[in-house]
Amino acid sequence: MSEVLVQKNEKGLGSILLNRPESLNALDISMIRKIKQTLDGWMKDDEVKVILFSSTNERAFCAGGDIKALYEAKLAGEDMEEASSFFVEEYELDGMIYTYPKPIIANLDGIVMGGGVGLTYGAPYKIVTERTKWAMPEMNISLYPDVGASYFLNKAPGHIGRYVALTAKTFEASDVLYMNAANYYMNSDRLKKFLKSLEKTDWTAEADEEIKVLIEKFSEPLQEVSFLERHASQINEHFQYETVEQIVDSLQKDESDFAKETAQLLTSLSPVSLKVTLQLLIWAQGKTIEQCLEQDISIAKRFMKVEDFFEGVRSVLIDKDRNPSYKYKSLEEVSDNFVQSFFNKEI
């Protein structure tokens, strides 16, 4: 059975369905190539008017990239330059979505993390549900939020993007809408009816207007105030600083439960990842998605040479003891020059 199911009906709908349930649809290189090949073909196919990104199972849209494969390549002594081509092709696909000439609808039902976020962020119609679990969790494995996250997290209000990136927390629909990472909400029952309507609609060249009418029919406003909105003032206060040390110091001076929990979380994560990620978000302010994805390539390749990344993967995805023994154990041990080395383009 194919890990990516491609369907095209006679009414103008093209569907790309992720179908790797045993790994929660984690993207591997063959899936990335299949999606890109499909989109390349549909770009010139007049029979396809609208494209849907979805999943064959309700539990997850996509849990991210298949990082285990990189760990196994390292263990097997393979050329990591070749293995890291995964990132190059993934980012190329992500960038393609932003400028794709036909409307793309992304069904963000269930788990949507890392590579799944990157794959769909450029889609103009992103739908979340009460089952959505959204995250950029790369910090947990001593990596960094890639797939253009430095671009789109800077689109969140205030310094919310920094909080999302540095804590690697998982968020629900209301938070995803608040940080501008989705633009529509449907409960799962309405979503099923919406997806059936997509299949039954005779799509025309005016597809964007037709999509908006259909989404308006099935979407609904979320009345609840999101976790991020409730804590926005504290997040903006503490995450305004230009160094991780200042952020942690600010949090530790705040006696609130939120600040204490956040400080404890940050100090449990990889110092290398924290410092590189904050620097990347600062660098990315005002940059284009193309610039951010190009920078991601340099940084991802640099992480492939850092022991702490592979130790993070081991602790979370391989042995699952969640007890990493990082080479860099404190923020003070990570020098500015070392952080800067992630931003130097390789010759």
CA distance 199 to 9: 8
CA distance 164 to 27: 22
Q: Which of 95, 110, 115, 122 is catalytic?
A: 115
Q: Is the dihedral of CA 262, 64, 313, 82 positive or negative?
A: negative
Q: How much of the chain is helix, strand and coil, in % rounded to 5? A: 55, 10, 35
DSSP H helices in 123-270: 149-152, 160-167, 173-178, 188-200, 207-218, 227-230, 232-238, 244-252, 257-266
Active site residue 308: no
Q: Which of 65, 95, 110, 161 is catalytic?
A: 65
Active site residue 146: yes
Token digits of residue 141: 């494995």
Instruction: For the beta carbon of residue 74, count every other beta carbon within 10 angstroms.
Output: 15
Active site residue 138: yes
Q: Which of 3, 66, 90, 146 is catalytic?
A: 146
183: buried, middle or exposed (CB in 10 Å: 19+, 13-18, 0-12)?
middle
Going by C-alpha positions, the residue among 220, 239, 111 that lies closest to residue 172 is: 111
Q: Which of 138, 175, 296, 311 is catalytic?
A: 138
CA distance 5 to 21: 12
Active site residue 118: no
Provide the CB-side half-sphere exposure for 16 (13 A, CA): 24
CA distance 116 to 108: 9
User: Under a CB-based contact definition with an 8 Å cutoff, are residues 228 and 175 in contact?
Assistant: yes
Q: Is 18 helix (H, G, I), strand (E, B) or coil?
A: strand
Catalytically active residues are 65, 115, 138, 146
